[in-house]
Amino acid sequence: MTRAKRQIAIVGGTFDPVHWGHLKPILEVANAFNFECIHLLPTCAPPHRQQPEVLNTHRLGMLDAATELDSRFVVNDWELRQGLPSRTLPTLKHFHTVSADATLYFIIGMDSLLNLPDWQHWQRLFDFAHFIVIPRPGYALADASDDVKDLLAARQCDSADMQTGSGKISIADTQPLDISATELRQQLRNHNERPELLPEPVWNYIREHNLYR
């Protein structure tokens, strides 16, 4: 009898700040799969792009606060420790090496899927992980490029067919949430507090450290 493999989820992001638009769909997906753990992996921003508004220690602090929501959440500072602009291919190779006995799932939003052909060596990402795509208001598959449509035609499948191996894509059936970190930062700057958009422990961290003012 083949033993079921461990299932490990990875969610990369700027997380400036982490919000319910990331966390609620991830938790919904985690219940459909059988994730042993979910790595929340803050990116190291490239110098040519807009830098995160708050220090890396605060992005990590807010993610640490979010781990109170579920014991499967793990904050992973691997990309930050590389000190290089983050690219997903080396990250997935790293996870593949250190968790060789696990099936890996990289979770992205629909906006990221639509941009995937701009990622470095994007076709090789599928050698190391399955991809789970979270629907996001304002981003529709109908607007996908031919590259993305071809990608889905070749790789899209149901979650049940992603227990082992790599290279499949599943579009999650989660409730789309219209929340973005950019808008949240703007609202916080304007003292327009929307507590329903962030988990309470993250709110408490933001207030305690007076962030985004």
Ligand X SMILES: Nc1ncnc2c1ncn2[C@@H]1O[C@H](COP(=O)(O)OP(=O)(O)OP(=O)(O)O)[C@@H](O)[C@H]1O
Nearest residue to 15 via CA among 54, 69, 49: 54
> Which among 69, 83, 62, 73 has a CA at the least distance from the CA of 18?
62
Q: Does 120 bind ligand NCN (CB under 6 A)?
A: yes
| Identity of the residue, 12 or 25, whose beta carbon is nearer to ligand NCN in the bound complex | 12
Token readout for 149 is 């449509």
Residue of 7, 76, 88, 174 that binds ligand NCN (CB under 6 A)? 88
Task: Sketch the per residue contact string, 57 through 76, with ligand X: x for CB under 6 A, - otherwise.
Answer: --------------------
C-alpha span between 175 and 137 (Å, rounded): 10
Pick from 62, 134, 197, 198 the residue near ligand X by CB under 6 A.
Answer: 134
Provide the angle, in degrees to the nearest 10, between the axes of the packed helices 56-66 and 200-208.
150
Residues between 141 and 180 with contacts to ligand X, criterion CB under 6 A: 177, 179-180
Secondary structure letter of residue 164 according to DSSP: S
Interaction partner, residue 179 (ligand NCN, ligand X, none; CB < 5-8 Å by kind) = ligand X
Residues of this chain, 180-199, that bind ligand X according to CB under 6 A: 180-182
**Cα separation of 201 and 110, whole Å?**
26
Cα dihedral 68, 72, 75, 78, rounded to 10, equals: 180
Q: Is 14 in the site for ligand X (CB under 6 A)?
A: yes
Residues that bind ligand NCN (CB under 6 A): 12-14, 43, 86-89, 112, 119-120
Residues that bind ligand X (CB under 6 A): 13-15, 21-22, 25, 108-109, 111-112, 134, 136, 177, 179-182
